Chain A
Amino acid sequence: MAITVDPHRPIRPDHDLGLSVPKREVKPAPDRWRNQLGKYRVWRYEELCKKCGKCAEICPNGVHVRPEGYAGFVRPLESKCTAETCKKNGTYCVDNCPQKALRTEVLPLYKSLGDFRWTADLILSTWHMAETGELPEGELESEVGNSGGGFDKIRFKFPENGQRTNPDEISTAIPLNRREDGRPKITIDLPVYGGGMSFGSVSPVTILSKARAATAWNIFSCTGEGGYIDRLIPYKDHMITQVATGLFGVREETIRRARIVEFKYAQGAKPGLGGHLLGDKNTPAVAAMRGAVPGTSLFSPFPFHSVYSIEDHKKHVDWIRHVNPRALVSAKVSTPIDVDMVAVGSYFAGANIVHLDGSYGGTGAAPDIAKKNIAMPIEYAIPKVARFLVEEGIRDEVTLIVSGGIRTPWDMAKAIALGADGVVIGTPEMVALGCIRCGKCESGKGCARGIATTDAEMVKKMDIEWGTQRLINMLHAWRLQLVDILSRFGMSDVKELRGRTDLLRHLDYEEA
């Protein structure tokens, strides 16, 4: 049974629906579930505990809470616990409990959480950022993962005793149109924006949370290829319309309302493969948006059937420009061996933004055999392309945006130092919304946590206000980290960091 969406139905602004106008301010956004995952498990032996309150007094993190007017403690907020650190600092509740009524251990779930790229620490620290808007302190390793390569092997060479710049005077804004082509000079306030996730792959709540956070931070989010849901229209100034190979949901009006149109040629996680939405996620609403049959699996081809060469690409760009002459054009390409040529070709065909998507990205829907195995790792592609753009004399006319495995503000800063102007993120947003990287995004009804699903019941597990705030908070923390890095280098503008490979070291290539 197909649902028809009336194209003329009125678009109600979100505040009519009882939603707030998204603002760039940090508010606490605790986990959606009562017992948030953390590194430790904390036990209180009630039969031994005398309720003396020593533990609450000594704990630096507020794990032990006795609500006012109550004699007893609530279950320890163990996700906040930093047992190892406390042991060293003498604030370890277990040692200080006169009754020996407390015990901590590393949570078995923590040990099984994440993977080498996205370690449990990175997931937990992203949750921390999303909850508080602050940088994780304590014992989580929030800078690098454990992949044994990529950004995990790259470090900054901070000056010792260098002059720090005042964080308040540091600019993190970047321009997206660096060409003199008469098109708008769009500037975003952070060198990062949200990647495309289609309606169908993720829930409308996820899409709207992303769009609202992007609006708050004056950055962008992207429709992905499942069409432009009506409720995004209020956020159209911060939405990129994606034109992907399936051309699902691409219509003239969605092109015309966008300030940026992104051509998705390929994804770094699965170059040579198109997108796919398995039947179970293709609900009637999703199908209506795409004009397809509910319940059938939807495939996007690879590549564009009408683009097999650079002059086809130019024609393609001309087409979109004809429909919307004011739009900036972004060409999203993966990173094959000749990525430098592809980038330069895209520029000469009229692209304002060249978006390289490296091999580390991809959610559960990208086949394992493709992820990390086909495209060039992004940390190799960035300098290769940046250098070639310089050689061609066009570096300052292209905005080079990179993605594919940017997990942390550290990764973002390293990518910029390698030569990018900014980054696009996908997985960190999902993690901020509660993703545990189980990798089951595409199967069945989708995400058990209600993020990457279209099932009506599962979608209700998340609330738009909460999702928006989590992302606003995370971006706030990312900015804090970036500002701190810039400050330590004595820089006052993120643009100064671009291409400063001299400030990086790679652990594998260090002289003994």
Chain B
Amino acid sequence: MSIADKLIQSRQWMMEGWSPSEPAHTEEEGGCGVTGFACSIPVGGKHIYEPSVQMHNRGNGKGGGIAAVGLVPEQMGVTREILDNDYILQIALLDPKCLNTVEAEFVTPMFDVHHSQSVPHVEDYREIDGLDVRPPDIQRYFVKPKKDVLAKFAQERGLVGLGERDIEEEFMYQNAFALNTQYYAALGDKQAFVMSQGRNMIILKIVGYAELIVNYYQLDDFKAHVWIAHQRYPTRGRVWHPGGAHPFCGMNEALVHNGDFANYYSVCEYLAQRNIKPLFLTDTEVSILVFDLWNRVYKYPLEYIIEGLAPTSERDFDMLPKEKQEVYRRIQQGHIHASPDGPWFFIIARNDVENDAFQLLGITDTAMLRPQVFALQDGEVQIGLVCSEKQAIDATLASLACEDSRFCTVADDYWNARGGSYTDGGSFMFTVKHQGDGTYKLNCTDKFGRERRAKSREQRTGDPVELASAVQGISSALTDVSGWSLFQVLRSASAGMSLEDFKAFCTRVAESAKTDPERAAAINAFTLMIDRRYQTGPNQRGRIVEAVNKALAAVLGGVPSITGEAASKYARIDWETRGMLRAPNGLEEVLVVNGHDFPPEGDECDARVVYEAYELGWKQFICHGYVGQRFLGVGLGPDSQGCVIDAYDSTGDYLASGLDGATVTVHGNAQDQLAQIMREGRLVVHGDVGQTFMYGAKGGTVYVKGNAAGRPLINSVGRPRVTINGTCLDFLAESFMAGDPLNGGGFVILNGVRLDEDGSVIDLDTPYSGSNLFSLASGGAIYVRDPHMTLDNEQLNGGEYYELTDADWQLIKPYLEENEQLFDIPVSRLLTVDGTEMDPSKIYRKVAPAQKKVAAAAATAADDDVMNNDEESDE
């Protein structure tokens, strides 16, 4: 009998009382906010605090949890040896009185306890704002199962012959199951449950927002390599214990989940066939049970586990190498019933004991129905991050950088993933590997084990630039209001100065910008520094941008406050002064909104200030300091032409949704649901855009420097004209209904390029790797730059490839020229392949609806305007 069979058989007793006809009802929940990071050095719990706060509006304060992996022996009160080898059994006591009986039944007789403690916490939970339900007392034990107990267990359960660790872990698992059954899942009061029991890792959860755990259990300086947190959104109103909160523990891993399954019962059935019974009745619990089964029982490598969870299908499957197809086909045949169906996104923190490494994993569902952002920062210390929203990543980095200058507030790379894709598998893992000398190094790999590096830093130093002489040139550079002269100076400084000098230089520039024209020059130049790519010599781009951000904030912070007399072209408003909003007077033209302290939505949010200011007559806005505030540019109403908004930092969801005339520019990456139902106006994004970009849009001119995530321009109608320079994950322009582009309708230009850190244009392997392009579309077109003809018919469903005509080229050319102006992506470069400039028709292909008989109504009804006729008949 195989090890797997033995383990499964040993669990037969656990299925007692399970009935296939009466599946337990799942605890209902929607999505949530998840965040996590892995770091080459252990860092304090306070750094999971900030990103958790940023995820507030993704939870409802009725469940929060965190996990920490890769701990520090001293703070745990044990030796390194015990920390590495023992299981950290943490029992949550919902009823503190049951401690002795639980201990007597499930701890003392089974384990050698090397250390035990009651997890310290703030004395009175009511001292912590927002904590309404007393968190459970937690008893923590460092344990190893007793030798004789283990021998007896192996004997009784038929596990003799398995490795010692295998038996040990199975013992831990079954013992926890027994405890949970008796004290949690059985009828009657819920009294206690095992919160976690892995090695060198802990899980804590409460009824409340996740960050309150840091407060309550006093984890500010409690250090770990990997942290994950979860804000839960249970739909029930009343929750009195955190049993259903995330993370859930497997053996040495903790899993948090955003989404919910359509096939909970099917997965439960699959598990039941393998003698596994869920006790907590949430999707998340069954997810970790599946993971644990594949990991510990079937001993699948991580790649296969990911394949099992997010299977590669259709065209993606066809694109895989033969040998992978064979393995994957087997995995799918065996385990498709355990593959979660519906929207989900997992973050897993794990102690990879076998490889002496700690790991953080993000796995995306195959339809990318949940938002997710990955990020990586290299340097003296390395950190990998994955979150539901980008601002949580930036909040983590800001928190870390504040404490330790080795961290930078800007990551080197941010990206999304497509679940089940042949390119990266939709999953990335950050592995913190012990180097043997007590230090750790972090690397990032995708599902297939391919490493993803933060951009390799060019060591080429630019021509040296002297700080002193550069400072002398500031005042003359500031006379060019366009900022272009100053940008040139800053750019060469970034490559030719040390980082320290560059920072000092930026500070001096900010200090020198005193008059309005100088301010304009500085703002424009700093903006170009943020938007553009250029050689930064030995300096990391993230560091340069960090310095520029800081200097820009200083310039913007230096303009007169709205509370004073109108004295400048600029006026500044922030959370403190929001009540003083007034119409622009005298010279005033530009309202600088510092969004930092505003709530992300609701009647008090910054986007409302912008909208009210617009009503009062303000037309130009510089909005900065964002940490995920939503709805910027929303609510301006129709005909908002002439209104111009420039947005900096981590802008939030729904930006520019409903835009109808105004111009919005995002200097950096943007988030989800951008420009939904947009009708007129202009949107420029100097970075990537997130999920459902321009869903249901009706028009507008839009330029995106980078990529779009899943489902861009879905259900879009009318005449949107969109240029995307990177790629899109999948479902681009599904149900596109944008007329005939050559006759006033809409289109998307997809260039399939990226900019490297020097600003050079690099062709992607394919402009579009998704399996669904222009599906079910009835109007509009996609002009895709595909000189190597990598796109195939498999990707279409109702569309057709057409050769680019001259009329097509005349249509898109002005947009590409504008694109060149905005992003420095030359049209001539786009037309160049392998060093040769070619005719546009050899470079671009047109995807448009397949020719078919035009529906009869279009022809016959063309002369009938129902609404007008009807009006006439009433008169």
Whether A445 contacts B857 by the Cβ 8 Å rule is yes
Given A252-B638, A284-B861, A345-B30, are A456 and B866 neighbors across the interface (CB < 8 Å)?
yes
Q: Nearest chain-A residue to B634 (Cβ)? A: A322
Cβ–Cβ < 8 Å partners of B324 in chain A: none
| Distance of A246 Cα from B739 Cα, bound (Å) | 16
Whether B638 contacts A310 by the Cβ 8 Å rule is no
Determine whether A97 belongs to the interface, using a CB cutoff of 8 Å to chain B.
Answer: no
Given A253-B637, A294-B862, A455-B864, are A309 and B870 neighbors across the interface (CB < 8 Å)?
no
Whether B864 contacts A252 by the Cβ 8 Å rule is no
The size bracket of the interface on B is 35 or more
Cβ–Cβ < 8 Å partners of B657 in chain A: 319
Cβ–Cβ < 8 Å partners of A253 in chain B: 637-638
Cβ–Cβ < 8 Å partners of B654 in chain A: 315, 319
Min CB gap B132→A, angstroms: 14
Determine whether A173 belongs to the interface, using a CB cutoff of 8 Å to chain B.
Answer: no
Whether B233 contacts A204 by the Cβ 8 Å rule is no
Min CB gap B476→A, angstroms: 45
Given A309-B31, A309-B233, A456-B869, are A246 and B715 neighbors across the interface (CB < 8 Å)?
yes
| Distance of A393 Cα from B861 Cα, bound (Å) | 54
Determine whether A86 belongs to the interface, using a CB cutoff of 8 Å to chain B.
Answer: no
Given A204-B870, A308-B369, are A296 and B235 neighbors across the interface (CB < 8 Å)?
no
Bitwise, A142-164 to B at CB < 8 A (1) or not (0) is 00000000000000000000000
Determine whether A297 belongs to the interface, using a CB cutoff of 8 Å to chain B.
Answer: yes
Whether B776 contacts A313 by the Cβ 8 Å rule is no
Whether B638 contacts A348 by the Cβ 8 Å rule is no
Q: Report A392-408 residues with CB < 8 Å from chain B CB.
A: 392-394
Q: Nearest chain-A residue to B370 (Cβ)? A: A308
Whether B737 contacts A311 by the Cβ 8 Å rule is no
Bitwise, B772-802 to A at CB < 8 A (1) or not (0) is 0000101100000000000000000000000
Cβ–Cβ < 8 Å partners of A319 in chain B: 630-631, 634, 654, 657, 673, 676
Given A309-B260, A460-B873, are A454 and B715 neighbors across the interface (CB < 8 Å)?
no
Whether B58 contacts A297 by the Cβ 8 Å rule is no
The size bracket of the interface on A is 35 or more
- Which of A59-67, A285-293, A471-479 forms part of the interface with chain B? A285-293
Cβ–Cβ < 8 Å partners of B639 in chain A: 7
Q: Nearest chain-A residue to B873 (Cβ)? A: A460
Cβ–Cβ < 8 Å partners of A459 in chain B: 866, 869-870
Bitwise, A249-270 to B at CB < 8 A (1) or not (0) is 0111101100000000000000
Whether B856 contacts A311 by the Cβ 8 Å rule is no
Determine whether A332 belongs to the interface, using a CB cutoff of 8 Å to chain B.
Answer: no
Whether A284 contacts B862 by the Cβ 8 Å rule is yes
Determine whether B696 belongs to the interface, using a CB cutoff of 8 Å to chain A.
Answer: yes
Cβ–Cβ < 8 Å partners of B57 in chain A: 311, 314-315
Determine whether B305 belongs to the interface, using a CB cutoff of 8 Å to chain A.
Answer: no
Whether B855 contacts A313 by the Cβ 8 Å rule is no
Determine whether A198 belongs to the interface, using a CB cutoff of 8 Å to chain B.
Answer: no
Whether B692 contacts A305 by the Cβ 8 Å rule is yes
Task: Kindly name the residue among A245, A282, A283, A457 whose own CB sees the greatest number of chain B CB atoms within 10 A.
Answer: A283
Determine whether A2 belongs to the interface, using a CB cutoff of 8 Å to chain B.
Answer: yes
- Which of A336-344, A351-359, A480-488 forms part of the interface with chain B? A336-344
- Which of B71-79, B351-359, B538-546, B602-610 forms part of the interface with chain A? B602-610
Whether A322 contacts B259 by the Cβ 8 Å rule is no
Task: Return the contact of B698 from the options A291, A309, A338 (Cβ within 8 A).
Answer: A291
Whether A279 contacts B869 by the Cβ 8 Å rule is no
Whether B874 contacts A464 by the Cβ 8 Å rule is yes
Whether B717 contacts A310 by the Cβ 8 Å rule is no
Whether A279 contacts B30 by the Cβ 8 Å rule is no
| Distance of A227 Cα from B660 Cα, bound (Å) | 16
Determine whether B236 belongs to the interface, using a CB cutoff of 8 Å to chain A.
Answer: yes
Cβ–Cβ < 8 Å partners of B735 in chain A: 299, 301
Whether A247 contacts B28 by the Cβ 8 Å rule is no
Whether A292 contacts B692 by the Cβ 8 Å rule is no
Whether B866 contacts A286 by the Cβ 8 Å rule is yes
Bitwise, B227-269 to A at CB < 8 A (1) or not (0) is 0000001011110000000000000000000111000000000
Given A279-B858, A290-B717, A296-B737, are A312 and B778 neighbors across the interface (CB < 8 Å)?
no
Bitwise, A190-218 to B at CB < 8 A (1) or not (0) is 00000000000001110000000000000
Determine whether A18 belongs to the interface, using a CB cutoff of 8 Å to chain B.
Answer: yes
Task: Return the contact of A308 from the options B28, B31, B603, B715 (Cβ within 8 A).
Answer: B31
Q: Nearest chain-A residue to B862 (Cβ)? A: A1
Min CB gap B357→A, angstroms: 32
Cβ–Cβ < 8 Å partners of B340 in chain A: none
Cβ–Cβ < 8 Å partners of B738 in chain A: 293
| Distance of A459 Cα from B235 Cα, bound (Å) | 45
Task: Return the contact of A455 from the options B719, B855, B861, B865 (Cβ within 8 A).
Answer: B861
| Distance of A1 Cα from B631 Cα, bound (Å) | 35
Cβ–Cβ < 8 Å partners of A17 in chain B: 871, 874-875
Min CB gap B125→A, angstroms: 22
Determine whether A493 belongs to the interface, using a CB cutoff of 8 Å to chain B.
Answer: no
Whether B866 contacts A285 by the Cβ 8 Å rule is yes
Determine whether A231 belongs to the interface, using a CB cutoff of 8 Å to chain B.
Answer: yes
Cβ–Cβ < 8 Å partners of B572 in chain A: none
Determine whether B658 belongs to the interface, using a CB cutoff of 8 Å to chain A.
Answer: yes
* Ranked 5 nearest A-B pairs via Cβ: A295-B858, A310-B30, A309-B31, A247-B696, A279-B855
Q: 14 A-B residue contacts at CB 8 Å?
A: A1-B862, A203-B870, A231-B867, A251-B698, A285-B867, A290-B717, A292-B779, A293-B858, A294-B858, A311-B233, A312-B30, A315-B654, A323-B658, A455-B866
User: Measuring CB to CB, which residues of chain B are less than 8 angstroms from any residue of chain A?
Assistant: 28-33, 57-60, 233, 235-238, 258-260, 343, 369-370, 601-603, 605, 607-608, 630-631, 634-639, 653-654, 657-658, 660, 672-673, 676-677, 679, 691-692, 695-696, 698-699, 711, 714-715, 717-719, 734-735, 737-740, 744-745, 776, 778-779, 854-859, 861-862, 864-871, 873-875
Q: Apart from A245-B715, A252-B677, list 7 A-B contacts with CB within 8 A.
A: A204-B867, A291-B698, A293-B858, A309-B260, A319-B673, A341-B235, A344-B237
User: Measuring CB to CB, which residues of chain A are less than 8 angstroms from any residue of chain B?
Assistant: 1-3, 5, 7, 17-19, 203-205, 229-231, 245-248, 250-253, 255-256, 279-286, 290-301, 305-306, 308-315, 318-319, 321-323, 325, 338, 341-342, 344-345, 348, 392-394, 445, 454-457, 459-460, 464
